[in-house]
Amino acid sequence: MQINKITVFGAGIWGSVIAQHLAKNGYNVSLWEYNEQLLNVLKTMGRHPNIPNFKIHDNIRLTNRVDEAVENTDLIVFVISSKAIRTFCREQLKPLLNGRVVPVVSASKGIEDKTFKTICEIIEEELPQLKDHVLAFSGPSFALEVAQGVPTKIMLAGNLDLVSQIETVFNADPIIIVPAKDRRGVEYGGGIKNVLAIGCGVIDGIGDGANAKAALITQALQEMNDIIVSQGGEPGSVYSLAGFGDAILTGMSAISRNRRLGEKLGAGLSLEEAKKQVGTIAEGVNSVQSVYDIARKNKLNTPILDAIWQIVCKGKQPHVLLHAMGFVNRGNK
């Protein structure tokens, strides 16, 4: 497969870092962004305002026009909000592709409400010609660390023939690609770990420390595994980079957006107040309801994830999470 031009949808921190990585690898990159204010800053300054020492590579072309972004493209990378994926594919991308088959890599994470579909499945549903041409890109990868050249392993999951062709595009310092066939397990791991990270943040907000967080992650991994298996994923995927690896990163690190949002909730802020203070999108919020509904539909025992749902979606006091872990004497019942 000959790849010359790559389209990256989303010029947030992660999208810009991915675009920069691909540009440094010698590819021509169209970086699309709908937010005109951000786009103007990127064009005017030639830098990203939220990434230190980040000068936009000469191989990157910035645009807010989808038609311009996908013209003659050989590969599409999604790095936009999971909530926007279906509408974006249906209303903007479908008419432009007009049945054309272009491989897609999804770096967006989330599980759709009610349908329980993953991002890759949503893309294939709206663009049926791309069946078996959509890959999941997931693993413990803070964008700012990748931008600084910190060694990073990321899973590329899906049709293994396509994975073998696309992995060379991303496989360059500081990123090492780990191929995987269990796309469903990888995507569910990537979505659920964001919910888990909110729970870790709640523990931080309450002030109960690393011991409790380690216990939380350990208990929640079994719940994550049960959900992955219930949805057709492989049991071992929970212990992969996209499951356990990403859960450690996002649950334990101070810079994780999902963990920071949970910390605000644990300190007593409402969801809206917490979202406002965190500022950037915490994708875990978009997956909490779906994860809860999947567990109920399949009659799974998920006390940790249920408690996180109660805090995020029902405004319950943060100590319900400690009670779910067995610490019944902590806080107000």
- Biggest distance spanned by C-alpha atoms of the chain: 62
Is 69 strand, coil or helix? helix
| pLDDT band for position 332 (cuts 50, 70, 90) | low
**Residue-level pLDDT at 279:** 80
Q: Where are the alpha helices (DSSP H) in 10-91?
A: 13-24, 36-45, 66-70, 85-88
Residue 308 tokens read as 């996180």
Least confident stretch, 52-56, 183-187, 316-320, 326-330: 326-330
Beta bridge pairs of residue 111: 118
Question: What would the pLDDT profile of 291-305 be if each residue is shown by its tens digit?
Answer: 999 999 999 999 999
How many residues comprise the chain?
333
Q: Can you give the residue ranges of every domain in the chain?
A: 5-181, 187-324
Amino acid at 299: K
- Would residue 24 show up in a list of annotated catalytic residues for this protein? no
| pLDDT band for position 236 (cuts 50, 70, 90) | confident
| Per-position DSSP letters for 212-257, written without gaps between them | HHHHHHHHHHHHHHHHHHHTT--GGGGGSIIIIIHHHHHHH-TT-H
Class of domain 5-181: alpha beta
Q: Where are the alpha helices (DSSP H) in 25-153?
A: 36-45, 66-70, 85-88, 94-97, 119-126, 143-147
Phi then psi dihedrals of residue 5, to 5 deg? -110, 135
Question: What would the pLDDT profile of 181-222 be if each residue is shown by its tens digit?
Answer: 999 999 999 999 999 999 999 999 999 888 999 999 999 999
Architecture in CATH for domain 187-324: Orthogonal Bundle (1.10)
**Residue-level pLDDT at 284:** 82
Q: Please, are residues 87 and 122 in contact by the beta-carbon 8 Å criterion?
A: no
Question: What would the pLDDT profile of 72-102 be if each residue is shown by its tens digit?
Answer: 999 999 999 989 999 999 999 999 999 999 9
Q: Which residues contact 41 (CB under 8 A, 6 or more apart)?
A: 49
**Residue-level pLDDT at 285:** 87
Q: Which residues contact 70 (CB under 8 A, 6 or more apart)?
A: 7, 30, 76, 93, 96, 97, 102
Q: Is 1 a residue whose pLDDT tops 80?
A: yes
**Residue-level pLDDT at 50:** 92
Average of per-residue pLDDT across 247-267: 93
Q: In whole numbers, what is the pLDDT of the chain averaged over residues?
A: 95
Q: Which residues contact 165 (CB under 8 A, 6 or more apart)?
A: 1, 103
Average of per-residue pLDDT across 219-230: 96
CA distance 216 to 212: 6
Out of 193, 213, 264, 276, the active site residue is: 193
Average of per-residue pLDDT across 273-277: 93
**Residue-level pLDDT at 179:** 98
Termini Cα distance of the chain: 59
CA distance 43 to 59: 13
Q: Is 333 a residue whose pLDDT tops 50?
A: no
